[in-house]
Structure 1
Amino acid sequence: MKEVLTRDGSKTFYSEEHDETYHSVSGAVEEAFLKYAGASDIGNIAGKGLVRILDVCFGLGYNTAAALDLIWAANPECKVEIVGLENDPEILARTAEVEPAIKSYGLIREAAKDDHAYHDARLAIKIIIGDAHEEIKKLTGKFDLVFHDPFSPKKAPSLWTEEFFREERRLMSSKGVLSTYSCARIVRENLKKAGFSIRDGPRVGRRAPSTIAVPD
């Protein structure tokens, strides 16, 4: 696993197995804030006092950390519950090697340690290590935000199927928001088949938009 410096000065890593980086080389932190954490009306969601996030392919945890920054900027008293799915313990260990410009990132480092969990008065993080296809079927409850951030549809096609999106849809609240960097035709078609309405998300680091999906 090779360290890569992205254009906003933040670090990511290159996966030899998938022949891709974990984040956009245009800016890993920029992507986390704009394509994921800031892609929904997170301030209003925080106003209700409890936000539940499902982070699929947790990686270095940049997306979750960025969300925490925005949630607590909007409502410092808001409680947050996070479930992360990740199949590679090595990328979690790499959280100790990066220092992104995200205020809440120290909490991610704590959660990425041996027990893969963190709890305090306003935050609960649980990172589940295993095959996302199987682990997502075991989850219950409803999430307000879903961050869908696997390797690309070309490299990890099984995580972009109608079946997988249906599992995410099952776990979302009626006003939940799913965000993902991909706007590939097959991705959007499978989201629609799984029961989502879609719209363009932010354009960050490229001309093509990301994708925002909400339950029909």
Structure 2
Amino acid sequence: MNIEFEITEDGSHTLFVPGLNEHYHSTHGAIQESMHVFVDAGLRHCVKSEIKVLEIGFGTGLNAFLTLLETEKSSRKIDFTSLELYPLSITDAEKLNYAGLIDPSKKDVFEKLHKAKWEVWNQITLYFSLLKMKFDFSKPTDFCPENQFDVIFFDAFAPEKQPEMWTQEIFDKIYSVSSENAILTTYCAKGVVRRMLQAAGFVVERLPGPPGKREILRARK
């Protein structure tokens, strides 16, 4: 996939995909968007001491990196499963500036996320383990995880750019692999997405969005 590096308004990188005319993150700030949508609205609302996270779209590894850093603050163990059909090259991943902005001492840890082997569990730190799967989630019936998930980061490209990733079948599947009281967050607050989440069985609420975005969605099982 052809990609271009851009700097967002908070100084952090995003990637632009000319073929889709789409960015990986908000141009108003990649780090602040990920923190707001996935960490603040999602992860921090899970009260379990051991958490199983499912991420739809590993992308730049930013969500995984921020989640890993949270484990060091809370000492909560996280098993992080991430699905990505088109992973970045190691060379491109090494150009990303997230660690430099957040904590330069963690640059090697960020790179370790990208260098981790695919299809097997990798113990990245004491509290954070990672399973990366090259998987086409537009075919959700093929996804058969070992465990249910407590937190879901739904971070696919926007519905108008990648409509096959925003279907009732997909949200039904996510509901079926979610644990009791599971939390799903997504940056997309479109009414059609809210209604599909509700049809799957989730209780959905709109929340204020990060800079540049009016609302996001949080769904609870």
TM-score of the superposed pair, with normalisation by structure 1: 0.88
1:68 Cα deviation after fit: 2.5
1:99 Cα deviation after fit: 2.1
Give me the whole-angstrom Cα distance separating, in 1, the residues matched to 2:49 and 2:151: 14
Give structure 2 stretches of 5+ with no counterpart: none
* Corresponding residue to 1:129 among 105, 121, 134: 134
Cα gap change, 1:197 to 1:37, in 2 (>3 Å) = same
Matching residue's letter, 2:72:
W
Cα gap change, 1:214 to 1:105, in 2 (>3 Å) = farther
Say whether residues 1:174 and 2:214 are aligned partners: no
Say whether residues 1:5 and 2:14 are aligned partners: no
1:183 Cα deviation after fit: 0.6
- SS, match of residue 79 in structure 2: strand
Q: Share of identical aligned residues, percent?
A: 24
Matching residue's letter, 2:122:
Y
1:42, 1:71 within 8 Å by CA — same for their partners in 2?
A: no
Counting only pairs closer than 5 Å after superposition, residues 145-184 of structure 1 correspond to structure 2 as 145-184=151-190
Q: Where does residue 67 of structure 1 map in the other structure?
A: 67
When structure 1 is superposed on structure 2, of 97-106 and 202-211 the one drifting more is 97-106
Cα gap change, 1:193 to 1:43, in 2 (>3 Å) = closer
How large is the Cα RMSD of the aligned pairs?
2.1
1:121-167, Cα deviation, whole Å (9 max, x unpaired): 32210111131234662223111110001111101111111110111
Give me the whole-angstrom Cα distance separating, in 1, the residues matched to 2:19 and 2:51: 34
1:113 Cα deviation after fit: 1.5
Q: Where does residue 214 of structure 1 map in the other structure?
A: 220
1:204 Cα deviation after fit: 1.0
Give me the whole-angstrom Cα distance separating, in 2, the residues matched to 1:93 and 1:172: 34
1:112, 1:127 within 8 Å by CA — same for their partners in 2?
A: no
Matching residue's letter, 2:144:
K
Cα gap change, 1:37 to 1:157, in 2 (>3 Å) = same
Matching residue's letter, 2:55:
D
Give me the whole-angstrom Cα distance separating, in 1, the residues matched to 2:54 and 2:93: 19
1:83 Cα deviation after fit: 0.5
Matching residue's letter, 2:181:
K
- SS, match of residue 94 in structure 2: helix
Give me the whole-angstrom Cα distance separating, in 2, the residues matched to 1:191 and 1:91: 33
1:110, 1:118 within 8 Å by CA — same for their partners in 2?
A: no
When structure 1 is superposed on structure 2, of 157-166 and 199-208 the one drifting more is 199-208
2:56, 2:153 within 8 Å by CA — same for their partners in 1?
A: yes
1:107, 1:118 within 8 Å by CA — same for their partners in 2?
A: no
Aligned structure 1 segments of 4 or more residues deviating by more than 6 angstroms: none
TM-score of the superposed pair, with normalisation by structure 2: 0.87
Give me the whole-angstrom Cα distance separating, in 2, the residues matched to 1:39 and 1:69: 16
Give me the whole-angstrom Cα distance separating, in 2, the residues matched to 1:124 and 1:27: 27
Counting only pairs closer than 5 Å after superposition, residues 32-181 of structure 1 correspond to structure 2 as 32-40=34-42, 42=44, 45=47, 48-73=48-73, 75-76=74-75, 78-90=76-88, 94-100=92-98, 101-103=101-103, 106-113=108-115, 115-116=117-118, 118-119=122-123, 120-134=125-139, 137-181=143-187
Give structure 1 stretches of 5+ with no counterpart: none
1:43, 1:70 within 8 Å by CA — same for their partners in 2?
A: no
1:61 Cα deviation after fit: 1.5
